């Protein structure tokens, strides 16, 4: 039988196949002769394993995808674009590879799911990305491991500390540590009225730390998403903010543009690669603004559809090919 891979995702009905990276990866797996299955967080359980002891189980659904084509600069989505097979109750190690692709927030349900996935790891399942690393690599804080590559940054709950940093830098960006897709990111100036009140709000009266970074005016030329597979950059897309907006995330109106990597960006990728490989972070998206590392996205990095559409680069197929070449995912 061909290789099976399980994708832990948000509800299938919510995914936009013309934009969703998980869908692109599942379709690529099917093209490679494999079988994609899916489940949600609530479908994971721990029960007695047939081989003895306890293991993870899953309520999973096999999927069959219709092929999609990119025509005149856009993806044409067939109707239906996916067909779901019968739900089956299976031990997690029925799947040699499991993709953890549930979108943030990294809340209690998400964290508990990573522990259940680790039960599968102990029985030989390869989980992408490694559950322990999903817990350890907060997508904002993990970039501090490579702080010399970042814009000047402070992380604190204290209003005085954040206000002092804003005065020193003049213009800063505030980022909630659990945010995603640009949500909750705020631009502030040291001279703006009500700065301390805003800092009280974003820290929830000094109960939660936030990240403050010096504002990089180069963001107006774009925020580059670079997709790394097993530490190697396979593709990138430049996201340009819309008029009147400093955030470049596609979810808040940023426009994707074709791009190439600069020498500095390749240096950043090469520096990150050993740590990503060592930590089991096989599929990662980093964000770079004006040659500065901004974030390291490990939960459910996006951008594959845009890279494929703008650059005619089959990055999903390349990703699956590398995975199949590096994992024992043969017949069962």
Among this protein's residues, is 138 annotated catalytic? no
- E strands, 14-101, in order: 35-39, 44-48, 54-65, 69-71, 74-76, 82-84, 88-91, 97-100
Annotated catalytic residue within 126, 239, 292, 309 = 239
Pairing of strands 126-128, 97-100: parallel
- CA separation for the pair 177, 236 (Å, rounded): 24
The Cα–Cα gap between 280 and 177 comes to 22
Of the candidates 301, 297, 293, the residue with the CA atom closest to the CA atom of residue 319: 301
Annotated catalytic residue: which of 265, 295, 306, 308? 295
Told to judge if 19 belongs to the known catalytic residues of this protein, a careful annotator would answer no
* Known active-site residue 130: no
- Residue 297: active-site member: yes
Q: Which of 247, 292, 305, 309 is catalytic?
A: 247
Active site residue 260: no
Q: Give the closest residue to 38 by CA, choosing from 78, 4, 77.
A: 4
Task: Look at the block and give the residue holding tokens 């299955």.
Answer: 37
Q: Which two tokens stand for residue 229?
A: 């597979």
What is the SS3 assignment for 150? Answer: strand
From the candidates 223, 265, 287, 308, give the one annotated as an active-site residue.
287
Task: Give the residue carrying structure tokens 């740590």.
Answer: 275
How far is the C-alpha of 248 from the C-alpha of 306, rounded, in Å?
14
Please give the backbone phi and psi of residue 25, each rounded to the nearest 5 degrees, phi first: -70, -40
Is 287 a catalytic site residue?
Answer: yes
Q: From the candidates 102, 175, 180, 309, give the one annotated as an active-site residue.
A: 175
Active-site residue, selected from the candidate residues 130, 297, 305, 306: 297
Residue 224, SS3 per DSSP: strand
State the DSSP H helix or E strand holding residue 316, giving kind and residue range, or none if neither: helix 315-326
Integer Cα distance of 219 and 20 in angstroms = 24
Would you please indicate which residues are annotated as catalytic (active-site) residues? 140, 175, 225, 239, 247, 287, 295, 297
């Amino acid at each position: 039988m061909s290789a099976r891979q399980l994708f832990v995702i948000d509800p299938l009905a919510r995914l936009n196949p013309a934009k969703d990276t998980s869908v692109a990866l599942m379709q690529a797996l099917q093209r490679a002769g494999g079988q994609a299955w899916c489940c949600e967080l609530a479908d994971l359980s721990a029960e007695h394993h047939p081989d003895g002891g306890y293991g993870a189980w899953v309520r999973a659904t096999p999927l069959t995808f219709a092929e999609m084509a990119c025509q005149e600069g856009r993806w044409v989505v067939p109707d239906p674009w996916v067909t779901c097979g019968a739900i089956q109750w299976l031990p997690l190690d029925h799947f040699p590879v499991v993709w953890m692709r549930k979108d943030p927030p990294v809340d209690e349900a998400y964290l508990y799911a990573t522990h259940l996935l680790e039960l599968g790891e102990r029985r030989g399942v390869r989980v992408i990305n490694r559950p322990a690393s999903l817990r350890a690599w907060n997508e904002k804080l993990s970039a501090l491991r490579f702080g010399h590559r970042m814009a000047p940054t402070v992380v604190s709950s204290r209003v005085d500390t954040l206000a002092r940093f804003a005065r020193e830098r003049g213009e800063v960006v505030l980022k909630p540590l659990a945010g995603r897709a640009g949500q909750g990111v705020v631009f502030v100036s040291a001279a703006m009225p009500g700065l301390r009140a805003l800092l009280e709000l974003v820290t929830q009266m000094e109960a939660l730390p936030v990240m403050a970074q010096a504002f990089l005016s180069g963001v107006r030329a774009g925020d580059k998403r670079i997709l790394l597979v097993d530490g190697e950059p396979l593709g990138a897309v430049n996201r340009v903010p819309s008029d009147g907006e400093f955030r470049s995330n596609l979810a808040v109106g940023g426009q994707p543009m074709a791009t190439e990597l600069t020498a500095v960006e390749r240096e950043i990728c090469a520096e990150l690669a050993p740590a990503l490989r060592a930590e089991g972070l096989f599929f990662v998206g980093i964000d770079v603004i004006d040659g500065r590392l901004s974030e390291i996205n490990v939960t459910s990095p996006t951008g594959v559809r845009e890279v494929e559409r703008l650059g005619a680069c089959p990055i999903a197929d390349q990703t699956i090919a590398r995975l199949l070449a590096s994992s024992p995912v043969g017949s069962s």
